[in-house]
Amino acid sequence: MSRDRFPSRIGSILGRVFKNLDIDKKMRQLEALNRWREVVGDKINLHTRPLSIRKNTLFVLVDSSSWLAQLTYLRHKIISEFHHRYGEGVVENIYFRLGEVKKVGSAERAASVKERKGSPRLPKREMQRIEDTLSAVNDTSLSRVLRRILIKQKEISQGREEMPHKSPE
């Protein structure tokens, strides 16, 4: 076995490492899973949700038995499309299972993120105490992180105070 020239490019080293650890295949499988909609089209995508790929088998949730039957007939065509796009061995089989398919649109996703990032449910005096505590911190990114931690800690402690206490009997 011949030795590589020193120094070697990091890209060539990582490429060999990924190939040896079979990470390149896992990355193609993840890409295939994320591109389900592009492979099958919008109509099928409305009634399905890809779940995972294990041992080269793609697991897909289907919302009705009629779509399940139709997709069973289309299985080989879908697999060949995956082969064409991502190479042999990425998806060798597809297992369709009946279940509830929830599609989250971009508006719903944005609303849930906005709801989570909304203003804290703390009284103004508590927020002012937090701001006063953080006034000595000069690093803005550190200050933001500490603010989130302090707010979360206060929200949790408020939740504990509101919970009814059981007396030991």
What pLDDT shows up at residue 109?
46
**R_g over Cα of the chain:** 26
What pLDDT shows up at residue 24?
74
What pLDDT shows up at residue 112?
45
Strand stretches in 12-80, DSSP E = 48-54, 57-62
Protein fold of 10-98: GMP Synthetase; Chain A, domain 3 (3.30.300)
Question: Strand 57-62 relative to strand 48-54: parallel, antiparallel, unpaired?
Answer: antiparallel
What pLDDT shows up at residue 65?
93
Calculate the alpha carbon distances from 139 to 135, 142, 147 in Å.
Answer: 10, 5, 12
Residues 67 and 47: beta-carbon distance below 8 Å: yes
Angle at alpha carbon of residue 138, lines to 132 and 142, rounded to 5°: 90
What pLDDT shows up at residue 147?
82
Q: Which residues contact 29 (CB under 8 A, 6 or more apart)?
A: 53, 56, 86, 90, 91
Q: Which H or E element spans position 123?
A: none
Taking the model in full, what pTM does it have?
Answer: 0.53
Q: Please state whether the peptide bond connecting residue 50 to the residue before it is cis, i.e. omega within 30 degrees of 0.
A: no
Strand-pair partners of 94: 58
DSSP summary character for residue 38: H
Averaged over successive runs of 10 residues, the pLDDT of the chain (169 residues) comes to: 64 74 78 89 92 91 94 94 88 92 59 47 84 81 79 72 49
